[in-house]
Amino acid sequence: MNNKYVIAFDQGTTSTRTIVFDEKGTIVSIAQKELKQYYPQSGWVEHDPLEIYKDQFDTFNQAVTESGINPEEIASIGITNQRETTVVWDKETGEPIHNAIVWLDKRTTGICKDLEKKGLSNYIKKNTGLVIDSYFSGTKLKWILGNVEGAQEKAEAGKLMFGTIDSWLIYKFTNGKKHVTDHTNASRTMIYNIKKLDWDERLLDELNIPKSLLPKVQTSSSDFGTIDYKGIQIPIYGVAGDQQASLFGQGGFEAGIAKSTYGTGCFILLNTGGKQVKSKKGLLTTLTCSLDSEPVNYALEGSVFAGGASIQWLRDRMKIIKKASDTEAICTSIPPLKNIYVVPAFAGLGAPHWDGKAKGSIYGMTLDTGREELIKATVEALAYQTKDVIGAMEKDSKKKIVTLKVDGGASANNYLMQFQADLLNVEVDRPKMIEVTAFGAALLAGIKAGVWTKSDIALIREIDTIFSPKMEEKIRKRKYKGWKKAIKRTKRK
Ligand code: ADP
């Protein structure tokens, strides 16, 4: 039993981490560094790719050293990363030609409008699964080529490389030997055809992107090259974008399994199996983590803009709670709400309502509405919004979800989880392992290395609590009807 540890690199928007897992899937050590954010103009967000690499290397070194394990016992490394963030570097020097443009960055809205005007919305939806938006890498890549002096010419001469953060890290860690990515990351670029599983010639043409820039796309659990660490060769055997890695870490590799991550926003994914479901409700279609010798699976993806952010609003703006976790005891201390709804449309309403102009609102207050009621209604709004997205997914896929797997900071709230189970009328399954995203990346790497098989996941992923629905059908219906009415009143159009 030599190679018994698996390492996850977890490169997120605000931090870079390395986690060492043992063969039972238990965390042995974690090292973390905050990532500097650069805001060169309003609406622009950048990261320094060299800093990302350095932080990843440093946390790797620190986590391995602190764990006290022998590096020779490391079976493999898996990488999970912030998705869509775009890096372009020089093929000869390996130096980035511009800072990384982060997924949040809005500078390419003009390029997106042009694509819409050209009538490409439908084509893009059908072939990439995405809606035209500055989030995705394609228009960011075009912006760099068009705005860095000489970049377009260099790209055409085959002298540049493009990658999402996974590709960039692999390129650096393998000393420039590998220029690769995986299905999940490719499916967020808006230039990857998720039907043909290849870069989309027409979109590359429209955006003037030479094919020579692009990484080779591999299955998520495969050989991405080797890291030389103190003379020891350690293979990178897993790569996945953060949301797909978390779906995988939750055991969501079969149709009908959904996961929701309750963080600042909520990210919800439903595995729809081998069938590419085209959403009528404004959800995205994306690729899930792929394994060698298995056909690719698709997922529907939707997000809630104000998830935990609305709990932060209670704390920092309304100042009616001291810390987020206070909300649970407050929710259980008062009787069920009678028709009070907080619609936290602070940043508009996302799927399936899509109203960017909507603003936050409160409905149903009477003279006996107090602090506790307001807090409870805000917590419940996370569950109502998640139900809206899952309802849209069920309509699109014409299937009922089987269970909802949950993670993220606010999933610690037992009241919220029970209320979620009640509203959806399905079981809500919360694992003991909180680091589901990193765990997903480790699983991909561990499966390829032979540490685990796919069927081991159910054993390694220990359940903390299953929340079973308890609410009467009549009450469930009445509550949700009230929410829908509140949404209707909140919408501007
Ligand atoms: P992110 O990864 O987006 O930073 P996390 O997964 O760390 O988010 O979750 C933090 C969010 O969850 C915060 O917005 C916080 O307000 C909320 N949160 C944390 N604990 C609780 C709780 N017990 N009840 C409700 N919300 C919570």
What is the residue extent of each domain of the chain? 5-240, 251-493
What is the 3 state secondary structure string of the chain? Answer: CCCCEEEEEEECCCEEEEEEECCCCCEEEEEEEECCCECCCCCCCEECHHHHHHHHHHHHHHHHHHHCCCHHHEEEEEEEECCCCEEEEECCCCCECCCEECCCCCCCHHHHHHHHHCCCHHHHHHHHCCCCCCCCHHHHHHHHHHHCCCHHHHHHCCCEEEEEHHHHHHHHHCCCCCCEEEHHHHCCCCCEECCCCEECHHHHHHHCCCHHHCCEEECCECCCCEEEECCEEEEEEEEEEHHHHHHHHCCCCCCCEEEEEECCCEEEEEEEECCCCCCCCCCEEEECCCECCCCCCEEEEEEECCCHHHHHHHHHCCCCCCCCCHHHHHHHHCCCCCCCEEECCECEECCCCCECCCCCEEECCCCCCCHHHHHHHHHHHHHHHHHHHHHHHHHHHCCCCCEEEEECHHHHCHHHHHHHHHHHCCEEEEECCCCHHHHHHHHHHHHHHCCCCHHHHHHHCCEEEEECCCCCHHHHHHHHHHHHHHHHHHCCC
Amino acid at 51: E
Q: In whole angstroms, what is the distance from residue 202 CA to residue 115 CA?
A: 12
Amino acid at 43: G
The two three-digit tokens of residue 36, written as one number: 């500097």
pTM above 0.75, yes or no: yes
Q: How far apart are the first and last CA of the chain?
A: 63
| Tokens 């269970």 -> residue | 403
Q: In whole angstroms, what is the distance from residue 16 CA to residue 353 CA?
A: 34
Q: How far is the CA of 223 from the centre of ligand 1 (A)?
A: 35
pLDDT of 3? 67
Q: Which of 413, 415, 418, 433 to mutate to test the pocket of ligand 1 (most atoms within 8 A of CB)?
A: 413
pLDDT of 1? 44
In this structure, which residue's CA is closest to atom 2 in ligand 1?
263
Q: What are phi and psi of 253, to 5 degrees?
A: -105, 15
pLDDT of 271? 94
Atom of ligand 1 nearest to the CA of 412: 23
Spatial contact of 236 and 225, defined as CB atoms under 8 Å apart? yes
CA angle 401–457–12, rounded 5-degree value: 80
In this structure, which residue's CA is closest to atom 18 in ligand 1?
410
Please name which of 97, 170, 187, 179 lies closest in space to residue 136, comparing C-alpha atoms.
187
Q: In whole angstroms, what is the distance from residue 202 CA to residue 146 CA?
A: 19
Q: How far is the CA of 387 from the centre of ligand 1 (A)?
A: 18
Amino acid at 101: I
Q: How far is the CA of 231 from the centre of ligand 1 (A)?
A: 41
Q: C-alpha dihedral over 266, 426, 252, 278, to 10 degrees?
A: -70
Q: How far is the CA of 411 from the centre of ligand 1 (A)?
A: 8
Ranges under pLDDT 50 in the chain = 1
Quick check: do 5-240 and 251-493 share a fold? yes
pLDDT of 355? 84
CATH number of 5-240: 3.30.420.40
251-493 topology per CATH: Nucleotidyltransferase; domain 5 (3.30.420)
pLDDT of 264? 85
Atom of ligand 1 nearest to the CA of 14: 4
Atom of ligand 1 nearest to the CA of 309: 14
Q: Which residues line ligand 1 (CB under 6 A)?
A: 263-264, 308-309, 311-312, 324-325, 327-328, 408-410, 412-413
